[in-house]
Amino acid sequence: MPESVRALLERFRPPVSVRTYGTVFTDTTEFMNIGYGDVIAVGGRHYLVMGDEKERRFGMEDPKFWVKRCVELESGLYRILKLEFQESFDQHIGALTITCHRSAVKEARILRLVAGDPSFMQGAGVKDERGNLVRVLERVAGRRLDLNIEDLHLDHRQYFHEVFPGILERFLAACRAISFLHGHGETHGDIRRDHLYVDHKTGDYCWIDFDYGYDSVENPFGLDLFGLGNILCFITGQGVHTIQDLDTGALGLTEADCALFFRHRVVNLRKLFPYVPEDLNRVLMHYSAESEVYYESVPELLADLEPCLDHLRRA
């Protein structure tokens, strides 16, 4: 290890033993070889690797070996480094299959576009000595929206009347942030409820992870809109409600009450919770299997959804 880097480590005194310090990487091509105690030198800064990031979904942890949890040695600040990972795969949304790929260039481009906007994670793309595009990201000081909602110990009626209006207000702001991207010809690409974080201090919502791109779709913004609908259904219902978990006969539920792509997820929440207003339920039903009209843009969605918040507050 170069003495200059060792001096940085000694000055910072990170929580690892000196004998565990590994290799200084200026080429991140073989990201599987970069691990705990190594240092990534890129963009004139040095990042001590503390481990791999993990994606937590459905109660399982999936390691993301190309995403490193780091500390910037020059400042002592926590950073996440997303290393360039060329991957193409099929994404399955119900019966629909879409070929998608990871694009470091797309994510770096969006990071430049949203610089200074707290509705999006912040960072910058820098190239290593081999030309790999590394995204150096600031830590989002918050927690996933879905986990916050799941931790609320309230029955749905109390949640809907006391908590949901504030959640909907912030979700509307998050939708406007996505509309901003679309207005600049960009898509988020992977809108899911675990990609929307709640800022610990402000309570505002922040989008993360913009590196998904798609080879070909009829409406380039359609998948983002579908993702927004999924989140809207989740926050309205205080979780996911499925046909398998409900007495369909007593509630009068049919396939027409379920999502277009996920046929087991109920979107006609008024059948489960009769106090859900009709105007809000109509928005949800645009995402149902029986709908013949779908939202083509975020402004269309907002035009229907914004009045719902006013009605909730007057109720």
**Cβ distance 269 to 233 under 8 Å?**
yes
Where are the CATH 1.10.510.10 domain residues in the chain?
142-207+215-314
Per-residue pLDDT 10s for the chain (315 aa) are 565 766 777 676 665 554 566 799 999 999 999 999 999 999 999 999 999 998 776 556 678 899 999 999 999 899 999 999 987 877 776 667 788 889 999 999 999 999 999 999 999 999 999 999 999 999 999 999 999 999 999 999 999 999 999 999 999 999 999 999 999 999 999 999 999 999 999 999 999 999 998 876 678 898 999 999 999 999 999 999 999 888 888 888 999 999 988 888 999 999 999 999 999 999 999 999 988 888 999 999 999 999 999 989 886
CA distance 69 to 78: 8
> Which sign does the torsion angle of CA 174, 176, 181, 187 carry?
positive
CA–centroid distance for 217 within its chain: 21
Taking the C-alpha atoms of residue 67 and residue 84, their distance in angstroms, rounded to an integer, is 9
Fold of 142-207+215-314: Transferase(Phosphotransferase); domain 1 (1.10.510)
| Residue range(s) occupied by CATH 2.30.30 in the chain | 3-83
Which pTM value belongs to this model?
Answer: 0.90
Helix (H) or strand (E) holding 307: helix 298-314
Question: Each residue of 156-172: b (16+ CB within 10 Å) or e?
Answer: beebbeebbbebbebbb
Name the packing angle between helices 222-237 and 298-314 (round to 10°). Answer: 20
Third-level CATH fold of 3-83: SH3 type barrels. (2.30.30)
Which of left, alpha, beta for 12 (phi over 0: left; psi -120 to 50: alpha)? alpha
